[in-house]
Amino acid sequence: MRLFDYFRSPQIKSAALAKERLQIIVAHERGNRHSSPDYLPALKKELLEVVRKYVPIDQSQIKVHLDREGGYEILELNITLPDEEQRSSRR
């Protein structure tokens, strides 16, 4: 058998298959583990109300994203303000 093995064309390496399968399942399981906390929607709504007191924006212009990296949690808050001209013309 060894003799035949030696001359046979190489097949897909099983380690590559293992790695691919693991990357998918581990990413999936980490996703479940780190699902976003349930206070995020409420936080977003309140933030929107506060910002609206000063700048007119709508729901789509505020983005709240929670990320975990190593031991840290990163709360990313992205508010797109309307350009200066738009705001002054509205006054």
Partner 1 sequence: MATVIVVTSGKGGVGKTTTSASFATGLAQRGYRTVVIDFDVGLRNLDLIMGCERRVVYDFINVINNEANLNQTLIRDKRVDNLYVLPASQTRDKEALTREGVERILDELKQNFDYIVCDSPAGIERGALMALYFADEALVVTNPEVSSVRDSDRILGILSSRSRRAEHGDEPVKEHLVLARYAPDRASRGDMLSVDDVLEILGIPLLGVIPESQTVLQSSNAGVPVILEEDSDAGAAYSDLVDRFLGKNLPHRFLTSQRKGFLKRLFGGS
- Catalog residues that contact partner 1 under the rule CB under 8 A: 2-3, 6, 13-16, 18-19, 21-23, 25-26, 29-30, 33, 70-71
User: Which string of DSSP letters, residue by residue, matches 3-31?
Assistant: HHHHHSPP---HHHHHHHHHHHHHHHHHH
Cα(first)–Cα(last) distance of the chain, in Å? 85
Are 47 and 62 contacting, i.e. CB atoms less than 8 angstroms apart? Answer: yes
Residue 18 CB, shortest distance to partner 1, in Å, is 5
Q: Which is nearer to partner 1, 13 or 91 (CB)?
A: 13
Q: Which is nearer to partner 1, 18 or 79 (CB)?
A: 18
Residue 9 CB, shortest distance to partner 1, in Å, is 14
Q: Which is nearer to partner 1, 71 or 89 (CB)?
A: 71
Of the CA atoms within 13 Å of residue 84, those in its CB half-sphere come to 0
